[in-house]
Chain A
Amino acid sequence: AQSVTQLDSHVSVSEGTPVLLRCNYSSSYSPSLFWYVQHPNKGLQLLLKYTSAATLVKGINGFEAEFKKSETSFHLTKPSAHMSDAAEYFCVLTGGGNKLTFGTGTQLKVEL
């Protein structure tokens, strides 16, 4: 069995401050982990993915995530938030097979 837990359903930051969206996972297999972003009325866009290469993964729009096996975590960070980052973010896990397990999402709000 595998699962993904996004620890915060809502995160609010000021523009220009760092972003941290937390994700913990559980998997019996060597996991592949993804972060997707969904802007209002849009589909899911891939931000970045980890597939057992470098543990620090850089994605689009200045986002990055670090895979920490000892902590079973894959938190998403960005040094400086922008208004356009306001969206919902999903942490996603694949283990055996190509079936994705989605977290419940974190709504990021960016304030002026």
Chain B
Amino acid sequence: ETGVTQTPRHLVMGMTNKKSLKCEQHLGHNAMYWYKQSAKKPLELMFVYNFKEQTENNSVPSRFSPECPNSSHLFLHLHTLQPEDSALYLCASSQMAGSLTGGIGNTIYFGEGSWLTVV
């Protein structure tokens, strides 16, 4: 157990469906992340939240909509996805210092991922 819990672990959805992925961390961290892991590709950072504020959107299509109601919870709302969006979506958390101090060396802890299949 890493202290980062993702639900559901597996999700199959049609292209017209709306669904959400949920992530919860029990580590007292103040930064949370969504990553996408596709077959044969490096992990792709999607979004970063620090203290509930989005600090990075890595050119993610608007059909992915993140929500961070507090430092312990992070959602990824999914709408009108495409088959190429099928992937493993990993949530992570860490302590995050301010941008000047950078948080260098702060370990990022990952959840076990949500396998998404778009049909």
Do A and B come from the same complex?
A: yes
Q: List the B side residues contacting A52 at CB < 8 Å.
A: 105
B42 touches A98 (CB 8 A): no
User: Count the B residues whose beta carbon is within 8 Å of the partner chain — how many?
Assistant: 28
Min CB distance B26 to A, Å, is 15
Within 8 A of A (CB), among B75-119: 90, 92, 94, 96-97, 99, 102-113, 115
**Which listed residue, B45, B94, B106, B111, touches A43 by the CB 8 Å rule?**
B111
The interface stretch among A10-18, A75-83, A101-109 is: A101-109
Q: Does chain A have a CB within 8 A of B21?
A: no
Min CB distance B113 to A, Å, is 5
B43 touches A98 (CB 8 A): no
Known A43-B90, A44-B90, A45-B2; judge A97-B108 contact (CB<8 A).
Answer: no
Digitize A67-96: 1 where CB-to-B-CB distance is under 8 Å, 0 elsewhere: 000000000000000000000001000111
Known A42-B112, A42-B113, A98-B31; judge A104-B102 contact (CB<8 A).
Answer: no
Give the distance in Å from the alpha carbon of A49 to the alpha carbon of B107 in the complex.
8
Q: List the B side residues contacting A42 at CB < 8 Å.
A: 112-113
Q: Does chain B have a CB within 8 A of A46?
A: yes
Give the distance in Å from the alpha carbon of A105 to the alpha carbon of B115 in the complex.
19
Q: List the B side residues contacting A55 at CB < 8 Å.
A: none
Q: List the A side residues contacting B42 at CB < 8 Å.
A: 102-105
Q: What are 6 A-B interface contacts by the 8 Å CB criterion?
A: A32-B104, A36-B110, A52-B105, A96-B102, A98-B104, A99-B45
What 10 A-B pairs are tightest by C-beta distance, nearest first? A51-B105, A43-B112, A98-B103, A44-B110, A32-B105, A43-B110, A102-B43, A43-B113, A104-B42, A97-B102
